[in-house]
Structure 1
Amino acid sequence: MPFHQAGAAEILRSVQKDESYLSHLKSSVADIVQRSFGTRTWLNVNQYSDVLCELGYYTLTTLCLRQTLGEEYTGIIQVDRNRRRLPSHLERTVMVILQCFGPKVLQLGLAKFEKSVRVGSFSTYLRPELRNIILQQIPKLQYSLTLLHRIHLAVFYFSSGFYHISKRMTGIKYVLIREWLGDNAASQSFKILGSVLFLHVVLTLSYAAYTNLFAKPKTSSKRTLSSCYVDSRKQCPLCLEERSHSSVTPCGHLFCWQCIHESLQTLQQCPLCRYHVLPSQVVPLLNYD
């Protein structure tokens, strides 16, 4: 008898359980590095240690044909897109690589492209007007990726198929191996959540379109281009504006004081690297440019 496809509730609980274990693993590694080599060394390797922790976790579970702790907790197992066999070794390898390195490579690629346009060799071949236009579009591209991820989540809430983009790209699905753990009653609630998320995306895009088409300030184009661009070194990753009252998290990332505290009220993790952060650990930087 074929297994039934896992619902959004089981997949989401599995992801939350895995993130809990990964957070504990990253905190333990960070504590060991800090105690052994000092805070400065930890800040230098922190961005790489998080990726390596994830890679090690999924290597010992998914790549070894074992369930992750979250998957075992909710009674689900990975299968191919036809739900007839386990994913091949190539499919699992590609999925793990995309999940561990995809966001970091995309983030570093955009940062490197912005730097090359702003002060690198690429900037010497561009006219100043074109260079300003490209720099102005980079924050919009970054926010477009955020909207794309929200659309992906909304589709997941409706179809209960793929929570991670890496699994959608490789076609890896989940089925229930212990059906009595399934929560069919939650499907309607998730569909409502997906509708709200779709509505939020539509309103965001509508407001952006209205602002760009009908609410442009009556200033010269040259002044508009220069005033809209915010240097990435001074930009808050949350509001995408120039940082106000710059504050630093224990993992070394900079945000506006108000933005990071509002984020931590919802989830006590760094929005960039998901390192566990308490509001009391955020340090305001005085006289920081």
Structure 2
Amino acid sequence: MALPSAQPAEVLRAWQKDDLYEKQLADRVAKLLPSQHTSKAIPLCSVIFKSFTTLRDLQTLGEEYSGIVQVDDSYNKLPSFTSRLLSILLSAFGETFTRNLLRNLEKKVERNGTLTPEAQNLFLLMLKTIGNILPQIESVHRAMCYINGGPLQIGKSLTGINYVHVRPAAAAFYSHLRLLGIVQLLHAFISCGQTLYNAKKHMDQMNEMPNEVDSCKSCVACLEEMIQPCVLLCGHIFCMNCCYGPLESCALCRTPFMKNNVVPLMNYYPSEF
């Protein structure tokens, strides 16, 4: 007979306990690492912590505290080794891997000479928008877990891992968690809507940009008045703040450039043309 499903509050309590232990371990490990690698302590310690518990078919400290056990989607067996390993890697490195993938795709789009500038701008805007809504995807997943139950980590959900009680749970009605889930769900949808609205607004602004800069008094990269204009090797002109700031390729023709190749224009004013 299948054991009863774990309540959302028990899953949340177990996750909070494990997160606390992992951060305490990461604080100690970070002191042993060089300063440029301290950010890697948290995912590294998460893998270490779960390798000695979940990967060995043991309860984590949080799961033991809450009296819950991981099971597969049949609710009758422990998850397979492959599912447990994949869930650990996804939980620790899933978001980092996704962001690196998006950045690599952006660089490939920028270097693609077969795409028109309009198509490049569209693809780049889509990739940046996906990157901006990644945190909201996690919020939506967590909100649904508060409402319907299930693991809080997306990696566990993707690999079909769930939780059951192994000892009698206290009878309680977790209405406050359902309410929290609804509020978090609304907040995530509003944030996603705002991100999509900003993306559409930015696309409309790019569609209104002129094809050449020297016919306009403003910088097409930042849409501000061009102060201290600089010319790139491709011949397009932008303000100095953009050339020596966030730009890595021409905003019009997407030609990559190095900062030391930017040429400041002396005694040049766009209004003269």
Q: TM-score when scaled to structure 1?
A: 0.66
Q: Tell me the residue number matched to 1:141.
A: 130
1:105 aligns with 2:97: yes
Tell me which amino acid in the other structure corresponds to 2:79.
P
Unmatched tracts of structure 1, length 5 or more: 34-40, 236-289
Whole-angstrom CA distance in 2 between matches of 1:12 and 1:207: 29
Q: Percent of aligned positions with the same letter in both sequences?
A: 30
1:74 offset after TM fit, Å? 1.2
Assess if the C-alpha contact under 8 Å between 2:133 and 2:192 holds in 1.
Answer: no
The aligned runs of 1:1-289 (5 Å cut-off) are 2-33=2-33, 41-43=34-36, 45-118=37-110, 122-180=111-169, 182=170, 184-185=172-173, 187-207=174-194, 221-222=208-209, 226-227=221-222
CA distance in structure 2 between the aligned counterparts of 1:53 and 1:214, rounded to whole angstroms: 41
Q: Distance in 2 between matches of 1:115 and 1:209?
A: 22
How many residues are paired up?
220
Give the Cα separation in 2 of the matches to 1:102 and 1:17.
21
- Note closer, same or farther for the CA distance 1:58–1:216 as it changes in structure 2 (3 Å cut): closer
Q: Unaligned 5+ residue runs, structure 2?
A: 211-218, 224-241, 248-273
Change (3 A) 1:197 1:190: same
Alpha-carbon contact 2:122-2:203 (below 8 Å) kept: no
Instruction: Give the C-alpha shift of residue 81 in structure 1.
Output: 1.2
SS at match of 1:77: strand
Structure number with the higher helix fraction is 1
Q: 2:16, 2:62 within 8 Å by CA — same for their partners in 1?
A: yes
Once the two structures are superposed, residues 66-85 of structure 1 have per-residue CA deviations (whole angstroms, 9 ceiling, x without a partner) of 11111111111111112111
Report the Cα offset of residue 219 of structure 1: 8.2
1:58, distance to aligned residue in structure 2 (A): 1.0
1:271 corresponds to: none
1:143 deviates by 2.2
Q: Deviations over 1:96-118 (max 9, x none)?
A: 22222212211211122223334
TM value normalised by structure 2: 0.69
Question: Is the 1:87–1:172 Cα contact (8 Å) retained in structure 2?
Answer: yes
